[in-house]
Structure 1
């Protein structure tokens, strides 16, 4: 089986519906060999982490249509990309509430970093993971991760490529003070 991230258009779901959506998706495709791992709910889409044979993908998407129409499908596999492209991808995914994919893209960048840069990128990864938890209605776990993200960002330079690290640090502190995750762009 192959792994995919399916993004279905959000028909009014919130992260509180995450568990219910996993069960619904599993029920909808119970008669086929497919695995639904998790549902994450963003503003505009429901992200389903699924495994299915490639030739059964169209059938799976059709069965999941009561949840929402397909917006995007991404085949997940270990890929080797240039560090700069990984950063661009990570930013794109983060800014489009595709936090799990942002985490994966920045993890590829992290593997190519050394020293202080490695710590800084890990801080960005932890922030993306915090939001991915919130999309599964696990906001308290996400809030708990903010301290680790802030520690990893430390006193790194104020900019990392096009990412305003000072702004991220400030946003993390604001979210900690409010005890609430608030989506923003990096």
Structure 2
């Protein structure tokens, strides 16, 4: 199955991936591309040790590993890649049900609020954050950027 993969590399030898979108960060390169999911382990190396797999086109019967989704989202939050973190969390949301699904949805709203803040939409960001806090019952105040430790605190509520 083809999946969207985001690979973070420190430089050095980059894997030869066709049609990758490359973004330069202050501490790494980000490559975004589609690949067969069985080949992901082949592209990881010393310089590119972390890959996020996003599966927005997966069939409804796809059962994602929620722990991997949370781990990927945490990594992305630590890099202020909130849009991608929100997409990673959707894998956990798809496999949840009941009140846990509602709490994961609220976590997605919190991360999406960070995206709205990045876009200069402060009112929307604060509203989304507050709506999520009402579901998660947390006292975390809105600010930008959300840190990985704050994300951990919110995950403990989910």
Asked if TM exceeds 0.5, the reply is: yes
Deviation at 1:170, TM superposition (A): 2.1
**1:97–1:115 Cα change, 3 Å:** same
SS of alignment partner, residue 137 of structure 1: coil
Q: Is the radius of gyration larger for structure 1 or structure 2? A: 1
1:30-109 equivalence runs, <5 A: 57=20, 71-75=29-33, 78=56, 81-109=64-92
CA RMSD of aligned residues (A): 3.3
Q: Does residue 109 of structure 2 align to residue 126 of structure 1?
A: yes
Match of 1:171 among 130, 140, 146: 140
Whole-angstrom distance in 1 between the partners of 2:123 and 2:6: 24
* Count of aligned residue pairs for this structure pair: 114
Contact 1:139 1:181 in 2 (8 A): no
Shift of 1:77: 5.1
- Relative distance call for 1:136 and 1:120 in structure 2 (3 A) is same
Please name the residue that 1:23 is paired with.
Answer: none
Contact 1:133 1:139 in 2 (8 A): yes
Tell me which residue corresponds to 1:21. none
Contact 1:99 1:131 in 2 (8 A): yes
Consecutive unaligned residues in structure 1, runs of 5 or more = 8-53, 155-168
Looking at structure 2, the residues matched to 73 and 99 of structure 1 have their Cα atoms a distance apart, in angstroms, of 16
Relative distance call for 1:114 and 1:73 in structure 2 (3 A) is same
Structure 2 length-normalised TM: 0.57
Match of 2:48 in 1: none
Deviation at 1:55, TM superposition (A): 5.0
Q: Which runs of 5+ in 2 are unaligned?
A: 9-16, 34-53, 152-158
Distance 2:123 2:75 in 1: 25
Q: Deviations over 1:54-96 (max 9, x none)?
A: 8555xx75xx98xx99721222653554222111111111222
1:184 aligns with 2:147: yes
TM-score (norm 1): 0.49
